[in-house]
Amino acid sequence: AQSVTQPDIHITVSEGASLELRCNYSYGATPYLFWYVQSPGQGLQLLLKYFSGDTLVQGIKGFEAEFKRSQSSFNLRKPSVHWSDAAEYFCAVGPPEYSSASKIIFGSGTRLSIRP
């Protein structure tokens, strides 16, 4: 079955510290991979996505993610977090043949808190 696992429910890091949010997926083939961010009471904003090519993907707001096929992982990283990064982060997958009508499966989310 297709699934996305975010093992960390809640992470707290100090402002200025580095961040890594974990994401593992289970899929029959290499899926399309996404990271979204959701601020409280808001919709989702796409941070970055991986379809193919370079396995290190750069996104908005200084985020990057690395696709590791051997580990079925797509971890999100940021070298130095800011207080405004406090939010809920969702990893998601779409099918390899992803199109505009394709469904996205979301992970359970990781809540990021920033310590002043």
Binding site for another protein (CB under 8 A): 32, 36, 41-46, 49, 51, 90, 98-104, 106-109, 111
Q: How far is the CB of 81 from another protein (least distance, A)?
A: 21
CA trace torsion 55, 59, 63, 69 (10° rounding):
-20
Measured at the alpha carbon of residue 43, what is the angle toward residues 41 and 49, in degrees to the nearest 5? Answer: 140
Q: How far is the CB of 79 from another protein (least distance, A)?
A: 26
Q: Closest CB to another protein among 29 and 101?
A: 101
- The token pair at 98 is 């992803």
Q: How far is the CB of 103 from another protein (least distance, A)?
A: 6
> Which residues lie closer than 8 Å to 62 by C-beta, 6 or more apart?
78, 79, 80
Q: Closest CB to another protein among 77 and 111?
A: 111
Closest CA relative to residue 6, chosen from 114, 106, 115 = 106
Q: Closest CB to another protein among 15 and 47?
A: 47
Q: Closest CB to another protein among 8 and 15?
A: 8
